[in-house]
Amino acid sequence: MRFERVTVDFGGQPALDDVSFDIRNGESRVVLGESGSGKTVILKTAIGLLHPSKGRVFLFNEDITGRREQEMFSIRARVGMLFQESALFDSLTIEENVSYPLVNQKSIQLDEEQTHQRVEEALTFVELGHTLEKFPSELSGGMRRRVGIARANVTEPALVLYDSPTAGLDPITANNIMALLVKERDLRNATTVIVTQRFQDGQIMAKYRFDRDSGELRAASSDGGSVSGLKFMVMREGKLVFEGTREELGLSTDPYISKFVLRH
């Protein structure tokens, strides 16, 4: 996923202003920033839900800038996305919500039985295997977020985008959600981009790895070091003001960045 000097305008106001970065296959990225700083816009622009007024966007080494909606579906099929507040379809059951990408993406050809099995696996992964027949309104905020994670990962996409996965959740539920994301990242080695306001979310992504043998999260390194291939980005008023490792983030003397990091 690569942005080259991307600007996105909303009614003349830039939501993203000349943003460039490059996320390579298998890497993870944590995007921090205050609300309205353009974090969500990055994710939506990356999969063509929003169109840049300037610059170029590349996804899986393909230039997707200005592509028509119909041409985007095959590329989007390789991306999973968790939306803010989950964006589950109210009128569909949890099973129908999670099976939605399996049923509607042309590149996926599964019969009913296979689809059901994949949905069950995805929901069991997020510990919600018993909610197949329920509707989103019957679940708590944290459970809905977990269903959203299951839906984002059910097609086993190469790139997963998480928009504020812990927003509005209590600290315990938020940590559980982050543990799930680490688990998902390490089991599938998917490229993962997380947008969040909480520095703790980034800390969990950076400091922990999922241990297959014990089935638990373990420190990535005994000396407190970070997971390799993980970088942080900090957004401010549509501009990318920092890009680097957790250690570089901690050493930053920029008042906005250090204030942001310390405050959380």
Partner 1 sequence: MLDILKGPVLSIQEFFQLTGRTLKNLPKRPHYPRDILNQMDILGVGSLPIVLLVGFFSGVVMALQMSRALRTYGAVSQTGPIVAITLVREMGPVLTSIVVAGRNAAGIASELGSMKVTEQIDAMRALGTDPVQKLVKPRLIATAIMLPCLTAIADFVGLLGGYLIAYGVLKLTTSEYWNGAYRAIEYNDIAQGLIKPFIYAMVISMVGCFCGLRTTGGTQGVGLATTQAVVVSSVWIFVLNAFITQIFVTL
Minimum distance of partner 1 from residue 88's CB (angstroms)? 8
238 closest CA partner among 52, 64, 59: 52
Closer to partner 1 at the Cβ: 18 or 85?
85
- Shortest distance in whole angstroms from residue 77 CB to partner 1: 6
Q: Which is nearer to partner 1, 79 or 126 (CB)?
A: 79
Q: How far is the CB of 80 from partner 1 (least distance, A)?
A: 9
Tell the smallest beta-carbon distance from residue 161 to partner 1 (Å). 9
- d(CA 148, CA 258) in angstroms, rounded, equals 32
> What would the two tokens of residue 251 be?
């050493």
Nearer to partner 1, 61 or 107 (CB): 107
CB of 246 to partner 1, least distance (A): 29
Classify 123 as helix, strand or coil: helix
One DSSP character per residue, 132-168 reads: TT--GGGS-HHHHHHHHHHHHHTT--SEEEEESTTTT
- Closest CB to partner 1 among 104 and 117? 104
**Least distance between partner 1 and beta carbon 78 (Å):** 11
82: amino acid identity, one letter: L
- Beta strands 54-59 and 2-10, pairing class: antiparallel
CB atoms closer than 10 angstroms to residue 74: 12
Tell the residue number behind the tokens 């890497």, with chain if given: 27
**Which residue, 168 or 250, has its beta carbon nearer to partner 1?**
168
Residues that bind partner 1 (CB under 8 A): 44, 47, 49, 69-70, 72-73, 76-77, 79, 81, 83-85, 87-90, 100-101, 104-106, 151
Interatomic CA distance for residues 234 and 232, integer angstroms: 7
Q: Which is nearer to partner 1, 97 or 131 (CB)?
A: 97
Through-space distance between the first and last CA atoms of the chain, rounded to whole angstroms? 28
